[in-house]
């Protein structure tokens, strides 16, 4: 079906405005289909003209436009022509729709723990026509009145407060104007924890089988919710306008969360059923703050078209980390941002798909999906930090508030945002915007011991970016100096660098740039790094080490030496977890030559064991160390004991997720026979357990196991989005290069065909996870390049292939230089 183009959206928005949406859903028709009736009241500025309605139904029973019957057969490729429009119009469409299994539209999932079914709506990016007829574009906002018929045992949640009426029909209160992609309905035997803050009713909801977990975590989540509301109200001076504030943790959710006004949805794996580190709770808290920030950036003021995605995501990212660091217990939130989110963004900048933060072309809605990446999120947030440094916090907040108030319940775009900011700043931001927002690429900053700081701009994306940053020096852990720097030339001189063993440019991580550390600093890291007291500076150092490997500037063996010498002494759990993940998931399997992988992994296991033995039992450090050890050790006795529940580290007794982690390591070592997997599965009949079992089976290195897993991924149309992800994750975690090599060709032939039954949002993730990342060979590059050029591959799969290929090419280049 064709994706709506920018030009089509502009023409339609110029012609019509939507006055009111009435949607009636019948979810009491069994597990496959549901009924959907839509009545749309809309105005036409040029009576007599024509437009089209978006609807993708299994069947259409009746259509009426202004009381006149319209043949349902007129729907072609999801579009219903509407001709001879009046000044004021009513169109009514009665359809039968089908539930999805790929996380898009109205997704239905069965909880294996108790057999109960759950439904949630995820209408992003262009899935709304799979749920109700609509004019599906972000700038045709309208108030919604929704009714839902549901089974008697279900509860219903949505954008408006839900009230149960006769015959199990729920009425949702009329909403303020919403874009189509913000509309949601969640229905099923959800359980709830409710509260109230500052006049706002609060609710947190989850599957019934997660009630104990929900009630355990709800107090902390409600506290962050209240703190975030207070922070945003103080910052923006614009109160939350959407009535109740429900947060629903739903199964098999593609994204981390979705900012539906009044009914935010989250993936329910954020309700940690086992042990959770402070970093994990921080990530969930930050997600809560991120989605709430969208109330103002996205919900209240919506981008006019997907070109200005950054007005949603960059702001939500920036505001969330600002909020969590200023208003919650997580005052060190920017540490996690630096080692997690920024590394994601830097990888996106190095990929061939890099694009500007703002104004990145989105000729149609589907192409916009490709730009939900580390640039729109992490780089955009970093750029906004630079804007604060450029114009001052007071002027920044004043400009943001003016923009919100002048566009509330409407739509905005880059030029309108800049106009508001320029008025608050008192001068033009054209040059700043051109350099930071409208030009792709990331600068490289280096500093030598003579004080020469250089800024190298990508040749393909020339820009004159001024960086506001600082430089810090450390010796024996003590900070020797910290010098503010304005880098507004290709090279500037920095005085006062003497007396430090380790010198860190951008030590406060204020700017967006890849940092090259000098040779003396690199040589000093094995002794100095753990002693540096500033976790943000350590985050910058670790990030420089990782990107140095990826860019081919640092021998991965040297990076491994730094890791094994210092990791066990790293006191921050976010740095411990993220750095270990980078080494175990990418650097060791891709950048270390195959005959050195086992030794490298063993060294990481040794560092993890040392950290575990030296950590306080039950602490975050101990938990991170135990997980890394479980994923890397070859100690059969330890693994066998842990999976049977013997000699477990403190705090991990009865932790099913840890048990699966151990079993998956055993599977990769070919130590997990069917009966053992079956026994562990019998002890964990939850959705998480079912998915973990699939990953475990796919992780076994045997040829038959790989053939089974690949067949399940590529031919079993009954697999959900999460099941596909679980299988793909396990598949490439083990096996010899010789056995796996044929799957590089099968990847490019088989994965694109999943588009026949898997939605774009889910398929792009599968294409990423199923990429033949272990086959680091020129032949893989060749076969993927050929596939990318094929016309039958969707834009999202092409983007996934290209981005993963660029990572593989980085590994090839590194091996060529350092092997």
- Amino acid 365: pLDDT: 83
* Active site annotation includes 777: no
Q: How far apart are CA 304 and CA 566, in angstroms?
A: 49
Structural domain contains residue 357: yes
The last residue of a domain, from among 189, 222, 247: 189
| Residue pair 143/20 in contact by the 8 Å Cβ criterion | yes
Q: How far apart are CA 322 and CA 334, in angstroms?
A: 8
Tokens 């055993």 sit on residue: 666
Q: How would residue 1 be classed by pLDDT, with cut points 50, 70 and 90? A: low
Can you give the pTM of this predicted structure? 0.97
Structural domain contains residue 483: no
pLDDT at 625 over 70: yes
The last residue of a domain, from among 416, 436, 456: 436
Helix (H) or strand (E) holding 201: strand 200-206
How confident is the model over 350-408, as pLDDT tens digits? 999 999 999 777 788 877 777 789 999 999 999 999 999 999 999 999 999 999 999 99
- Amino acid 199: pLDDT: 97
The last residue of a domain, from among 375, 401, 436: 436
Q: How far apart are CA 538 and CA 470, in angstroms?
A: 14
Burial of 463 (0-12, 13-18, 19+ CB in 10 A): middle
Q: How far apart are CA 538 and CA 528, in angstroms?
A: 10
Q: DSSP string of 203-253?
A: EEEE-GGGHHHHHHHHHHHHHHHHHHHHHHHHHH-----SS-EEEEEESS-
Q: DSSP string of 393-457?
A: HHHHHHHHHHHHHHHTTEEE-HHHHHHHHHHHHTS--HHHHHHHTSS---EEEEE-TTSEEEEE-
How confident is the model over 419-437, as pLDDT tens digits? 999 999 999 999 999 999 9
How confident is the model over 252-282, as pLDDT tens digits? 999 999 999 999 999 999 999 999 999 999 9
- Amino acid 367: pLDDT: 77
Q: What is the mean pLDDT of residues 167-194?
A: 98
Q: How far apart are CA 473 and CA 495, in angstroms?
A: 12
Burial of 428 (0-12, 13-18, 19+ CB in 10 A): exposed
Structure-token pair, residue 168: 């199990």
- For β-strands 162-164 and 478-487, DSSP reports them as unpaired
Q: DSSP string of 50-78?
A: -EEEE---SEEEEEEETTEE--GGG-BTT
Structure-token pair, residue 376: 């729109």
Determine phi and psi for 566, rounding to 5 degrees.
-125, -20
Structural domain contains residue 462: no
Q: How would residue 819 be classed by pLDDT, with cut points 50, 70 and 90? A: confident
- Amino acid 272: pLDDT: 97
Beta carbons within 8 Å of 322's beta carbon, 6+ residues apart: none
State which residues form the domain around 152.
1-189
Burial of 163 (0-12, 13-18, 19+ CB in 10 A): exposed
- Amino acid 193: pLDDT: 98
| Residue pair 295/232 in contact by the 8 Å Cβ criterion | yes
CATH code assigned at 161: 2.60.40.1730
Q: Number of folded domains in the chain? A: 3
Structural domain contains residue 418: yes
Structural domain contains residue 448: no
pLDDT at 320 over 70: yes
| Domain match, 164 and 21 both | yes
Structural domain contains residue 409: yes
- Amino acid 299: pLDDT: 97
Structure-token pair, residue 21: 């949406």
Structural domain contains residue 40: yes
- Which one is catalytic: 252, 291, 370, 422? 291
- Amino acid 359: pLDDT: 77
| Domain match, 164 and 308 both | no
What's the mean pLDDT when you consider all of the chain?
96
- Amino acid 491: pLDDT: 97
Nearest CA-CA partner of 289 in 215, 235, 338: 235
Structural domain contains residue 813: yes
Structure-token pair, residue 211: 């009630």
CATH code assigned at 364: 1.10.390.10
How confident is the model over 292-316, as pLDDT tens digits? 999 999 999 999 999 898 999 999 9
Centroid of chain to Cα 633 = 30
């Amino acid at each position: 079906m064709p994706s709506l183009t920018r030009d089509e959206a502009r023409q339609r928005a110029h012609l019509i405005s939507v006055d009111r949406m009435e949607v009636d859903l019948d979810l009491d028709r069994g597990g496959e289909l549901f009924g959907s009736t839509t009545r749309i009241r809309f105005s036409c500025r040029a009576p007599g003209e024509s437009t089209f309605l978006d609807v993708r139904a299994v069947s259409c029973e009746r259509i009426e436009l202004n009381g006149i019957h319209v043949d349902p057969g007129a729907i072609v490729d999801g579009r219903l022509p509407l001709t001879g429009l009046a000044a004021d119009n009513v169109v009514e469409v009665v359809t039968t729709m089908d539930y999805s299994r790929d996380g898009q539209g109205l997704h239905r999932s069965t909880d294996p723990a108790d057999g109960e079914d759950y439904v949630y709506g995820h209408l992003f990016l262009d899935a709304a026509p799979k749920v109700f007829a609509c004019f599906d574009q972000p700038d045709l906002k309208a108030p919604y009145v929704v009714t839902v018929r549901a089974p008697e045992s279900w509860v219903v949640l949505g954008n408006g407060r839900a009230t149960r009426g006769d015959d199990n029909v729920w009425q949702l209160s009329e909403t303020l104007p919403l874009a189509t992609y913000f509309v949601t309905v969640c229905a099923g035997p959800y359980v709830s924890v409710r509260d109230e803050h500052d006049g706002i009713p609060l609710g947190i909801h989850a599957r019934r089988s997660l009630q104990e977990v929900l009630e355990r975590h709800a107090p902390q989540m409600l506290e962050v919710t209240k703190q975030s509301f207070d922070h945003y109200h103080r910052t923006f001076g614009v109160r939350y306008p959407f009535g109740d504030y429900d947060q629903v943790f739903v199964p098999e959710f593609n994204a981390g969360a979705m900012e539906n006004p009044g009914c935010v949805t989250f993936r329910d794996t954020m309700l940690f059923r086992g042990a959770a580190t402070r970093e994990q709770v921080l990530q969930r808290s930050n997600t809560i703050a991120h989605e709430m920030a969208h109330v103002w950036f996205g919900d209240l003021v919506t981008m006019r078209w997907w070109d200005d995605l950054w007005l949603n995501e960059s702001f939500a990212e920036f505001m969330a980390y600002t909020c969590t660091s200023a208003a919650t217990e997580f005052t060190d939130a920017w540490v996690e941002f630096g080692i997690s989110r920024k590394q994601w963004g830097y990888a996106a900048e190095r990929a061939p798909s890099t694009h500007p933060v703002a104004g990145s072309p989105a000729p149609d809605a589907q192409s916009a999906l490709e730009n939900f990446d580390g640039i729109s999120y992490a780089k955009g947030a970093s750029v906004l930090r630079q804007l604060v440094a450029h114009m001052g916090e007071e002027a920044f907040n004043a400009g943001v508030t003016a923009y919100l108030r002048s566009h509330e319940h409407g739509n905005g775009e880059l030029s309108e945002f800049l106009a508001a900011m320029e008025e608050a700043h008192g001068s033009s931001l054209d040059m700043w915007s051109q350099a930071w927002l409208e030009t792709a690429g990331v600068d490289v900053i280096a500093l030598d011991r003579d004080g020469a700081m250089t800024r190298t701009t990508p040749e393909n994306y020339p820009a004159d970016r001024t960086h506001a940053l600082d430089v810090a020096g450390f010796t024996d852990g003590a900070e020797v100096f910290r010098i503010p720097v304005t880098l507004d030339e290709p090279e500037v001189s920095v005085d006062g660098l003497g007396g430090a063993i380790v010198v860190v440019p951008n030590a406060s991580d204020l700017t967006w740039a890849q940092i090259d550390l000098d040779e003396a600093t690199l040589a000093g890291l094995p002794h100095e790094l753990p002693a540096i007291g500033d976790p943000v500076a350590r985050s910058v150092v670790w990030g420089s080490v990782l990107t140095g490997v990826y860019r081919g500037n640092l021998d991965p063996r040297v990076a491994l030496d730094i890791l094994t010498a210092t990791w066990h002494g790293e006191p921050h759990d976010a740095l411990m977890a993220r750095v270990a993940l980078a080494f175990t998931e990418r650097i060791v399997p891709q950048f270390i030559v195959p005959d050195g992988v086992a030794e490298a992994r063993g060294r990481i296991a040794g560092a993890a064991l040392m950290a575990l033995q030296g950590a306080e039992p039950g602490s975050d450090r101990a938990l991170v160390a135990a997980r890394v050890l479980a994923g890397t050790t070859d100690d059969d006795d330890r693994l066998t004991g842990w999976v049977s529940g013997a000699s477990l580290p403190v705090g991990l007794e009865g932790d099913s997720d840890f048990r699966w982690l151990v079993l998956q390591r055993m599977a990769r070592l070919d130590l997990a026979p069917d009966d053992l997997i079956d026994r562990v599965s019998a002890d964990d009949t939850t959705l998480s357990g079912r998915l973990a079992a699939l990953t475990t089976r796919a992780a076994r290195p045997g040829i038959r196991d790989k053939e089974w897993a690949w067949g399940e991924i590529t031919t079993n149309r009954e697999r959900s989005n999460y099941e596909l992800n679980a299988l793909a994750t396990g598949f490439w975690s083990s096996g010899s290069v010789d056995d796996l090599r044929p799957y590089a060709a099968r990847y490019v032939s088989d994965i694109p065909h999943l588009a026949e039954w898997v939605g774009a949002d889910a398929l792009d993730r599968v294409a990423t996870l199923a990429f033949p990342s272990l086959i680091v060979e020129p032949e893989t590059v060749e076969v993927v390049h050929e596939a990318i050029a094929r016309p039958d591959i969707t834009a999202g799969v092409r983007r996934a292939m290209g981005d993963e290929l660029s990572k593989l090419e980085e590994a090839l280049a590194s091996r060529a230089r350092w092997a």
